[in-house]
Amino acid sequence: MIVELRMVNGKLNPSGTFKLIATGYLIGAGVIFVPLFAIATLFGFAIGAPTRLNGGVVGLFVELMPLIMVPIIVAMQALMIGGIVVFGLWLYQKCWPIRVFGEGALS
């Protein structure tokens, strides 16, 4: 997936910014949280004692729930955080310019 920052009439295009931020968060958080929840689930199985909830033994589905929920949670956070950041950048752009330079343009 190629993410580009584009300028339209001298202004930053919000859709490219959103893709950049959301994709970066999705990959970064996924690299951190997926192994973390996988290790926590493995430790839960390694203990050997059945997991109890309200006095009853819970099934395998409930024990695997963190692994099932991680992709959903990370994707929802990426959409939410990406949207909030892009909205903030859009508001900032209304008052002050955001400059995007090409390679070697700063020298």
Q: CB-hemisphere CA count at 13 Å for 74?
A: 21
- Has residue 1 been placed in a domain? no
- Has residue 14 been placed in a domain? no
Mean pLDDT, residues 17-46 taken together: 83
Range of the structural domain that residue 32 is part of: 24-95
- Has residue 70 been placed in a domain? yes
Measure Cα distances from 58 to 55, 65, 69, 72 in Å: 9, 11, 17, 22
Question: Could you tell me which residue, 103 or 59, shows the higher pLDDT?
Answer: 59
- Has residue 100 been placed in a domain? no
- Has residue 103 been placed in a domain? no
Give the pLDDT of residue 99.
67
Mean pLDDT of the chain: 76
Q: How many domains does one find in the chain?
A: 1
- Has residue 55 been placed in a domain? yes
- Has residue 9 been placed in a domain? no
Give the pLDDT of residue 11.
65
Q: What is the pTM of this model?
A: 0.60
- Has residue 69 been placed in a domain? yes
Question: Could you tell me which residue, 92 or 62, shows the higher pLDDT?
Answer: 92
